[in-house]
């Protein structure tokens, strides 16, 4: 008989799930250079009235992750939230523009995100290799 939590939370039964890999490697969050964001697992994660898979809260320095995600969805969500952090590091968070349009060239955005990726990778040895080695 399967534990009901195994159906609701795939990472409990799957030792190769990214959440378990992060725990096994003692990776509790991500060093951004300008701050540390702690990973938190949540059941039934909402942003306002909307159910979400992940949520980055800069004020509390938390990256909140939904526990019910498959391994692949959890990996994509962590990467998605890391990109929010990278954009914050570039000054392109939603507080610094009107939310309707950013006036950047594709090259400017790619250069900025590439540099942010390199910094995060250097400060967090092993994080990207865990995320991209499925």
pLDDT confidence of residue 2: 36
The tens digit of pLDDT for each residue in 44-66 reads 999 999 999 999 999 999 999 99
The larger pLDDT score, comparing residue 97 to residue 51, is at: 51
Query: In the chain, what percentage of residues exceed pLDDT 90?
Result: 69
In a domain, 111, yes or no: yes
- pTM of the prediction? 0.87
Q: Is 8 contained in some domain?
A: no
Q: Say if 74 falls within a structural domain.
A: yes
Q: Is residue 82 part of a domain?
A: yes
Residue 13 maps to a domain: no
Q: Is 9's pLDDT higher than 90? A: no
Task: Please indicate, yes or no, if residue 97 is contained in any of the structural domains.
Answer: yes
* pLDDT per position as a tens digit, 68-92: 999 999 999 999 999 999 999 888 8
Provide the mean pLDDT of the chain.
88
How far is residue 5 from each of residues 51, 67, 68, 110, measured CA to CA in Å? Answer: 19, 10, 9, 40
In a domain, 12, yes or no: no
Total domain count for the chain? Answer: 1
Strand ranges (E), the chain: 29-31, 36-42, 46-47, 50-51, 54-57, 62-66
Q: Which domain holds residue 55?
A: 25-132
């Amino acid at each position: 008989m399967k534990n009901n939590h195994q159906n609701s939370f795939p990472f409990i039964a799957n030792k190769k799930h990214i959440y378990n890999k992060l725990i096994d490697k003692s990776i509790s969050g991500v060093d951004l250079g300008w701050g540390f964001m702690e990973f938190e697992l949540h059941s039934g994660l909402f942003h306002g009235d909307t159910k979400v898979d992940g949520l980055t809260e800069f004020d509390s320095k938390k990256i909140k992750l939904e526990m019910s995600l498959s391994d692949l969805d959890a990996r994509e969500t962590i990467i998605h939230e890391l990109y929010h952090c990278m954009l914050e590091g570039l000054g392109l968070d939603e507080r610094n523009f009107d939310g309707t349009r950013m006036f950047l060239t594709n090259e400017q955005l790619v250069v900025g995100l590439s540099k942010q990726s390199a910094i995060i990778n250097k400060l967090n040895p092993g994080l990207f290799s865990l995320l991209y080695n499925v």
